Amino acid sequence: MTTTAITNIASLVTNDPSLGDNSPLGLILDAAVVIEGDRVVWTGESSKAPATDNAVDAGGRAVIPGFVDSHSHLLFAGDRTQEFNARMSGRRYTAGGIRTTVAATRAATDDELSANVVRYLTEALRQGTTTFETKSGYGLTVEDEARALRIAARHTDEVTYLGAHVVSPDYADDPAGYVDLVTGPMLDACAPYARWVDVFCEKGAFDGDQARAILTAGMAKGLHPRVHANQLSYGPGVQLAVELDAASADHCTHLTDADVDALAQGNTVATLLPGAEFSTRADWPDARRILDAGATVALSTDCNPGSSFTSSMPFCVALAVRDMGMTPDEALWSATEGGAAALRRTDIGRIAPGARADLVLLDAPSHVHLAYRPGVPLVQAVWQCGERTL
């Protein structure tokens, strides 16, 4: 395998305190990184970099880990422009809007759905995302949920079964029957393609008892739980996630003190999705409150056609800093190492020996520019699994 050194890095974010300045970001100034194959094999001061087969001059720019987008919904067809326009004109967002995507998704061909996934992944990669999770949830039949996950599995290992997005319109008068379907035949068809099981635990979707039944059924099939929790109102989602040792509770917009304490004392990551609040004009999650309690926070896009149609992790970083009380350091950590924690991965989200070589070169001297210059395309180069892709 050939080796490549990226040298003359103004500031290198390793996310390993022991490698740099002992901060959570593990910053190294005037740094270099050496890649061999698909792994990072060395980090340190540029003047001490070992000899390599190839060299890339960073030109005094910053290098950060590739973003880890741990929550997206990319298996869909159609869009909801009219709904967004109406909402921006005063209509309130509710969980029921999800149903408007179902018909278009069911009608789409496999090739059309796959092309959509590739489109949004390419879009995200240009903005520095090197790992992503994505879900089903817009088919809501056994066949359509299984094919969504089958398509997703061609593009990522982080595939989530979300048959419990909302009650299928086919079961509008029989929600208990739909839960039986989700925990029975649909689960049997979907489990082979998924790593995770998820549920939208919310008014208008699934209550606490239904969510528990769905998650425990998935766990019995070997899937690991994650929960859409406390997005639109206070509810049992966060507490259930912690109780079941879910990898993440996602949204966490409406939290009681008991919810925050549970997150701080458990292993469940609070994944915050500021694109959803931006696109629905909802209250912002209080990241400062969660962080100060000692809980782990991740940031993600929630890329979906209804409530957060963005694939930009830099945009979410800027929102988190501007409107959610996070510092630029905290927001970057949450968008990289935090996302890795939400996927229970230790090989991504950092630039350290042994980690997967996912790196982003910014056209800026510091990662702070991600929030300092919102909306500016700062990603100049991307390495994914050691290969330069941009």
- With tokens 């996310």, the residue in question is 15
Indicate whether 90 pLDDT > 90: no
Indicate whether 98 pLDDT > 80: no
Q: Express each pLDDT in 253-301 by its tens digit.
A: 999 999 999 999 999 999 999 999 999 999 999 999 999 999 999 999 9
Please check whether residue 231 is in contact with residue 257, taking contact to mean a CB–CB distance below 8 angstroms.
no
Rg of the chain on CA atoms, in Å: 21
Q: Which of 273, 255, 265, 189 is nearest to 223 (CA)?
A: 189
Q: What is the pLDDT of residue 96?
A: 57
3-state secondary structure of 59: strand
Grade residue 94 by pLDDT with cuts at 50, 70 and 90: low
Indicate whether 161 pLDDT > 70: yes
Q: Which of 8-22, 83-97, 285-299, 375-389 has the lowest mean pLDDT?
A: 83-97
CA 56: distance to chain centroid?
29
3-state secondary structure of 34: strand
Q: Express each pLDDT in 102-138 by its tens digit.
A: 999 999 999 999 999 999 999 999 999 999 999 999 9
Q: What is the pLDDT of residue 237?
A: 98
Distance CA 388, CA 130 (A): 11
Distance CA 146, CA 186 (A): 8
Task: Tell me the residue type at 44.
Answer: G
**On the CB side of 12, how many CA atoms lie within 13 Å of its CA?**
28
Mean pLDDT, rounded, for 227-237:
97
Please check whether residue 139 is in contact with residue 147, taking contact to mean a CB–CB distance below 8 angstroms.
yes
Q: Express each pLDDT in 202-225 by its tens digit.
A: 999 999 999 999 999 999 999 999
Indicate whether 139 pLDDT > 80: yes
Provide the residue count of the chain: 390
Distance CA 339, CA 71 (A): 9
Sequence-distant (≥ 6) Cβ neighbours of residue 220 within 8 angstroms: none
Sequence-distant (≥ 6) Cβ neighbours of residue 91 within 8 angstroms: none
Other C-beta atoms lying within 10 Å of the C-beta of residue 59: 13
Distance CA 333, CA 270 (A): 13
**On the CB side of 130, how many CA atoms lie within 13 Å of its CA?**
32
User: Would you state the structure tokens that stand for residue 356, as one six-digit string?
Assistant: 């997967």
Q: What is the pLDDT of residue 152?
A: 98
Indicate whether 201 pLDDT > 70: yes
Indicate whether 97 pLDDT > 90: no
Indicate whether 59 pLDDT > 70: yes
Higher pLDDT, residue 99 or 89: 89
Grade residue 86 by pLDDT with cuts at 50, 70 and 90: confident
CA 100: distance to chain centroid?
23
User: Would you state the structure tokens that stand for residue 152, as one six-digit string?
Assistant: 């997703």
CA-to-CA separations, 335 to 17, 174, 215, 236, 366, in angstroms, rounded: 17, 39, 26, 26, 16
Indicate whether 95 pLDDT > 60: no
Task: Tell me the residue type at 317.
Answer: V
CA 304: distance to chain centroid?
12
Distance CA 276, CA 278 (A): 5
Indicate whether 324 pLDDT > 90: yes
Mean pLDDT, rounded, for 196-201:
98
Q: What is the pLDDT of residue 370?
A: 98
Q: What is the pLDDT of residue 100?
A: 80
Please check whether residue 129 is in contact with residue 315, taking contact to mean a CB–CB distance below 8 angstroms.
no
Grade residue 83 by pLDDT with cuts at 50, 70 and 90: confident
Report the chain's mean pLDDT, rounded to a whole number: 96
